[in-house]
Structure formats: structure tokens, C-alpha cells
Amino acid sequence: MHTVSAPASLHALLTDLVDYAGLFPPAKLDMTSAVEAYARHVRGPFSWGIARFVCPVSRLNEWAAAADRHLSALPSDDASAPPEPWKLTVLIDGKLSENLEAIDRFNDAHAAGNGNGNGHAHKHAHNAVVDTIEMKVQTPDTIDQAMELLPEELYPFFEIPADGDLRSFATCLAGMGAGAKIRTGGVTPELFPALERVADFLIAFHTAEVPFKATAGLHHPVRAVHPLTYEPGCATHTMHGFLNVFVGAALLREQRINRDTLLKVLGETDGGAFTFDDQGLSWRQSRLTTAQIKAARENFAICFGSCSYDDPINDLQKLGVL
């Protein structure tokens, strides 16, 4: 597989940054098409930037059927090392206890060494794993109740309500071994949070040392006006940029920038203000080393969900940074 190189700082920022959510709007692909797209990306030249496939728990069986032929592309013999499993993050879309049982069945069926499914004799057939869940919550109490049921092998991101009290949720999640999730957009303008809300989210969960994930409306690198869907003539709206959010989060964690500066990073509309080299990245007069970027990504700014992986890559190429 041919891979494309990038400055070390950009590579550190982008590695495993995108969870592929092709099933969801505005792409809203059918399962077969979404799995085909994910397979293309994880075997393509920018595979290092894509992480998990996002799937509702209720559609795991459908995913398994669509992914079967890809997961069966195996080493030539049983003595070979198992391939790297495809990883999934799943959305809880039913009763939590029942969803956890479905996840457990899926992981048992797709564990390395549990081949022979659907006639495959190779022990590495169906090598995939759900290791992350995402769950909407309305109150901090819901988080406490969920954590009592979750097994250690599943890492949860709890989606904070758009109008939720950030301090209360951050206090609840502190030390829990769980992450927070912010919805950064959608297919209608009201789904995009204000810059101030994004900044306050980042500050609250950084202060509590809680990692975060973002989702929706974040598939372009830099803040700008874009169409809300892929339909011709659709409405447009100002969208947050993933460079804005993740560089801002890294500067917050590593350089302890204040709220006013964070708002300026989040509001940046000039792609040329972000520059990358092997030693680090710069946003205007601020600087992060590659090591600091790696630390921020590992411990705080985890990833974002996007219905497209082509859009982020194509836009970064247009900016001339990739």
C-alpha cells in the first residue's frame, strides 16, 4: 500500500483523527457503500488519519454482513500473524444493558482466532472489535448509572446536551475513565454551536482532565461558509474547522492559552495561519512542538466523527499542507 508522507507535526495531529460516519447525514450512505468507502480509506494512502467505523448498535449485524468479504482477506496460513482488526465505535440506540449484550456477542464472533464463521476456515476470519461506545445523556446522573454497567474494555464518550451545564458534566466525568462528546454541527444551522460554546466546552473538560470527541459539521479544516448537505442548491452556513478545534484544544492543553486567545483560534478563517513542519506547528505567533501535539491528541483531543473522509483530505491538499 502506498502511503503519503506529511510534516511530522501534521502527521501527529491527524493520526487516527477521523472516525468514519458515512452512515449519517449529510452523506447517509447505505451500509454496503459505507463499508466499501471505509475499506478504501483504511487501505489507501491516507490510512493513518482514519480510525474507527461509526455504527449504531442496532445495525451491527448488518455491518458484519457488509464487511464479511473485506474481513476475509486474510494471511495465507494460520501461522501468520492476525491482521489488524477493524475497529468500531458504536452508538447506543436502545436499552444500555441489551446493547452491551449485543456488543459482547459481536466481539466474541469477531475476535482473532474465532474464525469459521460463514464457512471461513481460517482462524483469523472476521477480525474486528467494538472498543468504544457513544451515548447521549441528559443529566450527570445518567452517566453514573451507565458507568456502573460498562465493562472496562469499552471506552465511553458521553454526548453532552447542547444546553447542558458544562461544569456539572465535567465534574461528573472527572476521574471516570470516560470522555465527553460535543456536537459541532449538522444539516441545519441551529445544530452548530456558537464559538463561545465550543470554547467553554474545551475549557471545562480540559480543566477536569476529561478527553473529548467532536462530531458532525467538522469535515472541513478551517472555519468557513459551506453547503450544509451535498444536495445541489442547499442552504449554506458557517462551519467550524477541525484544525481550529484541534489546534485550539492542543494550545489550551499545552500552552494554557486564555479564553480570548482560544476564541481567536476557533474563529480563524485564514488557512494560511496554520503552518506545519517536522518540529511542530504554528498558529500565528503561537507554537506547538510535535511532541506536544502528540500528548494533546493522546490525552485530550481524541478524534472527531465525519460522514466523509475525502472532504478533510481534499481540503488539506487544497490548503497545500498535505
Q: Which of 12-16, 38-42, 125-129 has the lowest mean pLDDT?
A: 125-129
What are the pLDDT digits (tens) for 227-279? 999 999 999 999 999 999 999 999 999 999 999 999 999 999 999 999 999 99
Whether the per-residue pLDDT at 211 is higher than 70: the answer is yes
pLDDT at residue 256, rounded to an integer = 96
Phi, psi (deg, nearest 5) at residue 163: -110, 15
Q: What is the pTM of this model?
A: 0.93
pLDDT at residue 258, rounded to an integer = 98
Whether the per-residue pLDDT at 117 is higher than 50: the answer is no
Bond preceding residue 26 cis, omega within 30 of 0: yes
pLDDT at residue 71, rounded to an integer = 81
Residues forming beta bridges with residue 130, ordered by sequence position: 88
User: Would you say how long the chain is, in residues?
Assistant: 322
What are the pLDDT digits (tens) for 101-110? 999 999 988 8
Burial level of 55, CB count in 10 A (0-12/13-18/19+)? buried
Greater pLDDT, 84 or 22: 22
Q: What is the mean pLDDT of the chain?
A: 92
pLDDT category at 5 given cuts 50, 70, 90 is confident
pLDDT category at 70 given cuts 50, 70, 90 is confident
Question: What integer is the mean pLDDT of 152-170?
Answer: 97
Question: What integer is the mean pLDDT of 90-99?
Answer: 97
Amino acid present at 320: G
Sign, Cα dihedral of 13, 54, 222, 190: negative
Sorted by where each starts, the structural domains of the chain and their CATH numbers stand as 8-317 (3.20.20)
Greater pLDDT, 69 or 303: 303
pLDDT at residue 116, rounded to an integer = 44
pLDDT at residue 230, rounded to an integer = 92
How far, in Å, CA of 183 to CA of 163, rounded?
Answer: 11
Query: What CA–CA distances, in Å, run from 285 to 142, 238, 264?
Result: 42, 25, 12
